Chain A
Amino acid sequence: MNSKRPVNLDLGKFHFPLPAITSILHRISGIIIFVGVAFLLYGLDLSLSGEDGYARVSELLDSFLAKLIIWGILSALLYHLVAGIKHLLMDMGIAEELESGLLASKITVVVSIVLIILAGVWVW
């Protein structure tokens, strides 16, 4: 390879198109969900352990920190779901062109933000 080619790897100077941002968010949200499953399984375990355990989960979910964690996991899950549905649609040949792909990314962001706000209202 020609080693004299100019190299610019200053990430701050890159312009990331929206589909690139929705893609990296899909990855980040996936990692958050993977870690979040531990919290969800802990809550499920406790809630099914008996009436006391169920009451303890309800009590835990009254705290601000627990609500924040649940909202965080829900946000990652909802975003991952919406962006995932976009992937499944692209498998069917929908929104694969430059313009339609950009539009699909915009829809993904808007729908996710609406769902994440609704989830926040639901949690609190």
Chain B
Amino acid sequence: MVSSVTNLGRSGVFDWLIQRVTAYVLALYTLFLLGFMVFSDVNYETWTALFSQTWFRIFTLLALLSIGAHAWVGLWTVTTDYIKAMAPRFLVQALCGLTMFVYVIWGIQILWGL
């Protein structure tokens, strides 16, 4: 039995809920963005117009935060299943966490062009 001190929600039920809520957000975002790219004539003007809308920036940031939480729960499950030794497991989990943090900050910088 692996210590659950590293899981996101402190309890399996809360992790399950986080995974579901973020899954719905990510599914909607994916379907919307793929739909936009497949069914409309994408060029520089329409592309920047979409990403200059406040609601879409918020939607994109929400999706990025959801990726962070969703990937943490998912990768936590995978790493606790396959990496039994504590030190390498913590190291891999820390790398995943750092990557998620970078993704979110990078995304904010892209969206609001700081």
* Cβ-defined contact, B20 with A91, below 8 A: yes
What is the minimal beta-carbon distance from B78 to any residue of chain A, in angstroms?
Answer: 5
Specify which chain B residues have a CB less than 8 angstroms from the CB of A27 in the assembled complex: 74, 78
Q: Give the B interface residue count (CB, 8 A).
A: 22
A20 within 8 A of B: no
Assess whether B44 is in contact with A54, with CB atoms less than 8 Å apart: yes
Q: Cα distance A55–B44 when bound, in Å?
A: 8
Taking residues whose C-beta sits less than 8 angstroms from the other chain, chain A's interface range is: 20 to 34
From the candidates A41, A47, A87, A88, name the one contacting B47 in the complex (CB within 8 A): A47
Interface of A is mostly: helix
A55 / chain B contacts, CB cutoff of 8 Å: 44
B71: chain A residues at CB < 8 Å are 30, 34
Q: How many A-B residue pairs have CB under 8 A?
A: 48
In the bound complex, CA of A30 to CA of B106 (Å): 20
A64 within 8 A of B: no
Cα(A54)–Cα(B47), bound, Å: 9
Q: Given contacts A47-B47, A84-B27, are A34 and B107 in contact (CB under 8 A)? A: no
**Contact (Cβ within 8 A) A34 B75:** yes
Smallest CB–CB gap between A112 and chain B, Å? Answer: 14
Tell me if A81 counts as interface (CB < 8 A to partner B): yes
Closest to A55 in B: B44
List which B26-40 residues lie within 8 A (CB) of chain A: 27, 30, 38
Inter-chain contact A41/B44, CB cutoff 8 Å: no
Is B99 on the interface with A (CB-CB < 8 A)?
Answer: yes
**B90 at the A interface (CB under 8 A):** no
Pair A84/B23 contact, Cβ less than 8 Å: yes
How far apart sit A88 and B17, CA to CA, in the bound complex (Å)? Answer: 11
**A interface residues with partner B (beta carbon < 8 Å):** 27, 30-31, 34, 37-38, 41, 44-45, 47-48, 51, 54-55, 77, 81, 84-85, 87-88, 91, 122
